[in-house]
Every structure is written in structure tokens, then in C-alpha cells.
Homo-oligomer: A and B are copies of this chain.
């Protein structure tokens, strides 16, 4: 029923958002003598979203947005050493070791015996590639696609490039907006492992109620869920054969 499984990387296979949260907390402390922390957080978020169109996703955009916000919020009074500290916060994210979530290796290992697996991730090209290599998970995937955004057309192009039928394609990820909705809109399957820390820009209010969407409690439950779905498909094919026989 499903032949190809695609996985999101950040916050699906390994910790990511927590690094950004730590940097943001430090950024707020750095500017605490100029503004209260809620206001700093609000303004940083606005700058990040505004800059997505020019800079795209990823840690370099985040660094540039922190610097821009710091200049604006201090009305230019920000000082060299403070800007240097912001650059260091970004470098800490880039240099942080990859912490793969518990159970991921076993789950990928099980699934790789049955499915062709690809990785689809958005962000800074070099940073994403470095993380994939450092994760030790590279060999589970036949293809790695680093994309600038995750919209229906992004997935459409990947499906075409690899000649994958959307009805036999499943996407696994933490983001309703980036991993689930675009794939459902193309007639694919989507499996969501929620991440309580998700960046608010990825937030979508409602869970979809189509049968091709499955909410997972954890990634480790995916092999069982897929087996059950395949069993259901076999049984309904058998029932159709019996009815027509």
C-alpha cells in the first residue's frame, strides 16, 4: 500500500528546537536591560517571519534576525560585544552535537527492511547535510532532499523526480503545516509525531480527519501502525475478490 516513506529530520529524528529555545532565552537575557522579555520574544518572532521570504529557514537566518532585532530594540545602541555574543549563539547551534531521539535507530532499522526511505528536510543546506552525516542515520535513506520550504509543489517535484505515486507515499514528521497538510493535499499519507516544543510558525489549530492521516504517540509505534494499515488493505482486497468471485 505504501512503498516509500519520507522522514522529516529536525524534531522528528533528533532534537533541534530545544537548541533554538536555549539561544532565544540567552538573547532575551542579553537585551534584558533594554526591554522586557515578552516584548523581545514577540519582536524576534516578527522579524524571523518577515525575513523568511528573503533569507529562508535555518540557523543563519535566525542569526541575522537576532542581530536585526537587537539593533531595532536598542535603537542602535547595541554594542559590538553584544553582537559578537549573538554570533556565538548561532555558532553554538551549528556546533551542537546531534542528539537522536530514543528509539529512532531501532524504528528506522525495522522500517528499512520493508520500505524505500528518503529524508526531506528544510533549512540551511550545509547545516542540514552536516547534521545528517553526524547523526549516523544517513545510510537508512536512499535519497536526501534539502528544500527551501515544504509546500505542496515541493513534494510534487520530489514525487515526480523519483517517480513515486502519491497514494503509495507516506510522510513522517512533527509539523502539521510542513509535513502533514501538503502531503495530504497531494493524496499521500501522513504520520505525525507531535513535538511539544514546535516553533509557533509551524502551528496549525486542527487535526485533519481524513483516513490517510495518523497521529502517532511516538515514532516507535510507526512499524505497528503501518502493519495494521497493510493488513486492513489486504483484507479489503480479499473481500473485494470474494465479492466479485
Measured CB to CB, the residues of A under 8 A from B are 54-57, 60-61, 63-64, 67-68, 71, 74-81, 83-84, 87, 90-91, 94-95, 124-127, 129, 143, 146-149, 161
> How long is the Cα–Cα vector from A60 to B56 in the complex, in angstroms?
10
> How long is the Cα–Cα vector from A245 to B53 in the complex, in angstroms?
64
- In the bound complex, do residue B87 and residue A80 qualify as a contact, i.e. CB atoms below 8 Å apart? no
In the assembled complex, the CB of A146 is this many whole angstroms from the nearest CB of chain B, namely 7
- In the bound complex, do residue B76 and residue A77 qualify as a contact, i.e. CB atoms below 8 Å apart? no
Complex interface: chain B residues within 8 A of A75 (CB): 80
Complex interface: chain B residues within 8 A of A79 (CB): 76, 79-80
- In the bound complex, do residue B81 and residue A76 qualify as a contact, i.e. CB atoms below 8 Å apart? yes
- Candidates B80, B129, B149; contact of A148 at CB < 8 Å: B129
Complex interface: chain B residues within 8 A of A61 (CB): 60
Complex interface: chain B residues within 8 A of A129 (CB): 148
> How long is the Cα–Cα vector from A55 to B91 in the complex, in angstroms?
9
In the assembled complex, the CB of A95 is this many whole angstroms from the nearest CB of chain B, namely 8
In the assembled complex, the CB of A50 is this many whole angstroms from the nearest CB of chain B, namely 12
> How long is the Cα–Cα vector from A77 to B78 in the complex, in angstroms?
10
Residue of B with least CB distance to A74: B80
> How long is the Cα–Cα vector from A176 to B216 in the complex, in angstroms?
50
In the assembled complex, the CB of A49 is this many whole angstroms from the nearest CB of chain B, namely 15
- In the bound complex, do residue A80 and residue B78 qualify as a contact, i.e. CB atoms below 8 Å apart? yes
Complex interface: chain B residues within 8 A of A77 (CB): 80
- In the bound complex, do residue A60 and residue B64 qualify as a contact, i.e. CB atoms below 8 Å apart? yes
- In the bound complex, do residue B55 and residue A60 qualify as a contact, i.e. CB atoms below 8 Å apart? yes
- Candidates B83, B94, B161; contact of A67 at CB < 8 Å: B83
In the assembled complex, the CB of A96 is this many whole angstroms from the nearest CB of chain B, namely 12
The 8 closest A-B pairs by CB, nearest first: A56-B126, A76-B80, A126-B148, A60-B60, A125-B148, A71-B80, A78-B80, A125-B125
In the assembled complex, the CB of A90 is this many whole angstroms from the nearest CB of chain B, namely 8
In the assembled complex, the CB of A122 is this many whole angstroms from the nearest CB of chain B, namely 9
> How long is the Cα–Cα vector from A124 to B124 in the complex, in angstroms?
7
> How long is the Cα–Cα vector from A143 to B145 in the complex, in angstroms?
13
